[in-house]
């Protein structure tokens, strides 16, 4: 019989965790896997929602930087529960609905989040057709390895 994998799970208590059935982050051994984070407040309301037209398509991406900065802040709050910080991120994947808008703001947003002009992690930026919420412009997942 295989030994059960020891996991530490963390949640924000937002409605979509239960609806979709997932944890925001899972620690296994010394590695933390962070689910795609987005720009929401403590009540689960989207911060800086993009305006959408009647067919649900984004009409203005000017809130990309606000959403990106808030997403990094949410990830930092989550990592603090494990005694980790964004300094311990080894890989991130940034999903965006508009690659050009993301490239225009990603440098300053990432520098502010990581506190370095060149964050010390592998990073992938991928353009997608849509994210979980129509007004959502960015989602970021992380792999984190704190020391110890």
Residue 37 has a pLDDT of: 97
Local confidence band at 148 (pLDDT 50, 70, 90 cut-offs): confident
Does the pLDDT at position 26 exceed 90? Answer: yes
Q: What is the mean pLDDT of residues 21-31?
A: 95
Give the DSSP letter of residue 91: E
Structure tokens at 35: 């689910």
**For tokens 């900065």, what's the residue?**
69
In angstroms, the CA 34 to CA 120 distance is 17
Q: Tens digit of pLDDT for each residue in 70-110?
A: 999 999 999 999 999 999 999 999 999 999 999 999 999 99
Residue 18 has a pLDDT of: 86
Domains defined for the chain, CATH in brackets = 8-144 (3.30.1330.40)
Q: Tens digit of pLDDT for each residue in 28-73?
A: 999 999 999 999 999 999 999 999 999 999 999 999 999 999 999 9
SS (H, E, C) 96-113: ECCHHHHHHHHHHHHHHH
Residue 112 has a pLDDT of: 97
Strand-pairing partners, residue 28, are 31
In angstroms, the CA 120 to CA 53 distance is 38
In contact, 128 and 95? CB cutoff 8 Å: yes
In contact, 112 and 71? CB cutoff 8 Å: no
In sequence order, what E strands does the chain have? 8-10, 25-28, 31-37, 89-96, 122-127, 138-144
In angstroms, the CA 71 to CA 139 distance is 7
Structure tokens at 116: 């370095």
Q: What is the mean pLDDT of residues 120-130?
A: 97
């Amino acid at each position: 019989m295989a030994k059960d994998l020891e996991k530490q799970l963390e949640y924000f208590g937002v409605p979509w965790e239960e609806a979709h059935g997932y944890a925001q982050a899972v620690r296994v051994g010394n590695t933390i896997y962070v689910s795609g984070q987005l720009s929401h407040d403590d009540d689960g309301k989207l911060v800086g929602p993009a305006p959408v037209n009647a067919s649900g398509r984004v009409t203005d991406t000017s809130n990309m930087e606000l959403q990106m900065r808030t997403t990094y802040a949410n990830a930092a709050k989550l990592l603090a529960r494990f005694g980790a910080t964004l300094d311990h991120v080894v890989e991130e994947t940034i999903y965006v609905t508009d690659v050009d808008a993301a490239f225009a703001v990603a440098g300053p947003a990432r520098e502010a989040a990581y506190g370095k002009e060149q964050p010390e992690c592998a990073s992938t930026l991928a353009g997608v057709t849509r994210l979980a919420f129509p007004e959502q412009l960015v989602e970021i997942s992380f792999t984190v390895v704190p020391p110890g």
